[in-house]
């Protein structure tokens, strides 16, 4: 079993997932109505694999969807009560699952999807093979339901050891230190996910924008332990290339100033923190009205042969999202 899917790339969620190919940070820029003369066709979004936080932590389970005990079937509903059958091995299981599920409003489809969060709760306590049944839904009124879940926790696993290979850009011991688990600890999938995010961030400050940690697990059922193996594919270190703009500039000449200010960075080693600071600073060149800016407006166009990353930036207006 591979806790993180089929040996796929583990992307980073949160702040960086949208920049490589786009950064996932919300900030603000100044917006106006002046059309910017430099136009670049926005490239298609990269096909980077979903981040670890979006992948299934266990192989997909067969599901026929929620079971409705009686009509009506509301299009959108909230949960009044959660009933658990089994799963008591997780400390405070009833309270944790109830809090997780009652925090949202659902459709039938989204409720089924939310069970991944329930599985994650158990996997953070070492119940790596937890099984969660399709929910049984009992309508209370037109917008409220009760939900019953049958949970089989399975055995609780602890970490036997962590083996990391392929690290060259940093001291291997420093990369290992980023995973806050020691031999004998309860295996916590959430901590591993966050460690991968931290690794990606570290590598992307040194130009390794194609960094990929490939996880695998070896289970020992005799002592319920897991040997966790991480094969690192660093890729090559990239340099900053030119900056290209598309869209509506915030105010007259701002676009040209941004391009001019970027020139000293061309040829320097790629550093995601430098790119973030530059973009945030440049969008305060004007006193124009602030409009929402999202880091998915930033994309990279990489030249593997030359090791150059061109920055593609869409200047959004108020209607761009």
The predicted pLDDT at position 113 comes to 75
Categorize the per-residue pLDDT at 34 as very low, low, confident or very high, splitting at 50, 70 and 90. Answer: very low
State yes or no: pLDDT of 30 exceeds 50.
Answer: no
Instruction: Give the 3-state secondary structure percentages of the chain, helix then strand then coil, rounded to 5.
Output: 25, 30, 45
User: What pLDDT, in 10s, does the model give residues 80-109?
Assistant: 999 999 999 999 999 999 998 888 888 877
Q: What is the CA radius of gyration of the chain?
A: 23
Range in 107-116, 144-153, 168-177, 292-301 the model is least confident about: 292-301
Sorted by where each starts, the structural domains of the chain and their CATH numbers stand as 26-49+237-315 (no CATH), 56-152 (3.10.20.310), 158-233 (3.10.20.310)
Q: Left if phi > 0, otherwise alpha if psi is -120 to 50, otherwise beta: which for 294?
A: beta
- DSSP letter string, 185-202: SBP-HHHHHHHHHHHHHH
The predicted pLDDT at position 307 comes to 96
Residue 24 structure tokens:
């996932």
Determine what percent of the chain is predicted with pLDDT higher than 70: 70
Give which of 283, 284, 290, 285 is closest to 318, Cα–Cα: 290
**Structure-model confidence comparison of residues 22 and 29, the more confident one:** 22
State yes or no: pLDDT of 15 exceeds 80.
Answer: no
User: What pLDDT, in 10s, does the model give residues 152-168?
Assistant: 999 999 999 999 999 99
- DSSP letter string, 30-65: EE-SPBPS---PPPPPP-PPPBGGGS-SSPPPP---
Q: Specify whether the CB–CB gap between 23 and 309 falls below 8 A.
A: no
Give which of 25, 49, 34 is closest to 298, Cα–Cα: 25
pLDDT average, residue stretch 103-130: 87
Q: Specify whether the CB–CB gap between 216 and 5 falls below 8 A.
A: no
State yes or no: pLDDT of 42 exceeds 70.
Answer: no
Q: Specify whether the CB–CB gap between 117 and 100 falls below 8 A.
A: yes
Give which of 161, 205, 201 is closest to 183, Cα–Cα: 161
The predicted pLDDT at position 247 comes to 80
The predicted pLDDT at position 10 comes to 29
Q: Specify whether the CB–CB gap between 75 and 286 falls below 8 A.
A: no
User: What pLDDT, in 10s, does the model give residues 187-231?
Assistant: 999 999 999 999 999 999 999 999 999 999 999 999 999 999 999
Mean of the per-residue pLDDT values of the chain: 76
Range in 34-38, 180-184, 192-196, 253-257 the model is least confident about: 34-38
């Amino acid at each position: 079993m591979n806790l993180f899917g089929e040996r796929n790339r583990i992307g980073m969620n949160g702040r960086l997932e949208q920049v490589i190919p786009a950064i996932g940070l919300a900030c603000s820029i100044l917006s106006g109505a002046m059309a910017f003369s430099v136009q670049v066709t926005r490239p298609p979004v990269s096909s980077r694999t979903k981040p670890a936080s979006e992948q299934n932590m266990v192989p997909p389970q067969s599901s026929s969807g929620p079971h409705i005990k009686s009509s009506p079937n509301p299009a959108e509903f909230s949960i009044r009560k959660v009933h658990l059958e089994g799963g008591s091995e997780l400390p405070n299981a009833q309270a944790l699952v109830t809090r997780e599920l009652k925090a949202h409003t659902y459709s039938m489809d989204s409720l089924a999807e939310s069970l991944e969060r329930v599985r994650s709760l158990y996997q953070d306590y070492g119940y790596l093979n937890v099984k969660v049944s399709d929910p049984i839904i009992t309508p209370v009124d037109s917008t409220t339901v009760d939900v019953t879940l049958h949970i089989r926790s399975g055995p609780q696993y602890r970490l036997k050891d962590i083996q990391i290979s392929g690290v060259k850009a940093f001291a291997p011991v420093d990369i290992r230190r980023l995973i806050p688990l020691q031999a004998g600890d309860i295996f916590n999938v959430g901590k591993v996910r966050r460690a991968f995010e931290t690794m990606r961030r570290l590598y992307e400050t040194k130009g390794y924008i194609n960094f990929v940690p490939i996880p695998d697990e070896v289970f020992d059922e005799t002592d319920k332990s897991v040997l966790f193996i991480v094969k690192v594919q660093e890729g090559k270190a990239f340099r900053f290339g030119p900056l290209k703009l598309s869209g509506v500039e915030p105010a007259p000449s701002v676009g040209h100033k941004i391009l001019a200010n970027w020139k000293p960075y061309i040829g320097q080693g790629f550093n995601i923190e430098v790119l973030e600071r530059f973009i945030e600073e440049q969008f305060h060149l004007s006193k124009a009205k602030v409009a929402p800016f999202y880091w998915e407006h930033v994309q990279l166009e990489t030249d593997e042969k030359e090791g150059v990353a061109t920055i593609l930036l869409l200047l959004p207006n108020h209607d761009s999202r």
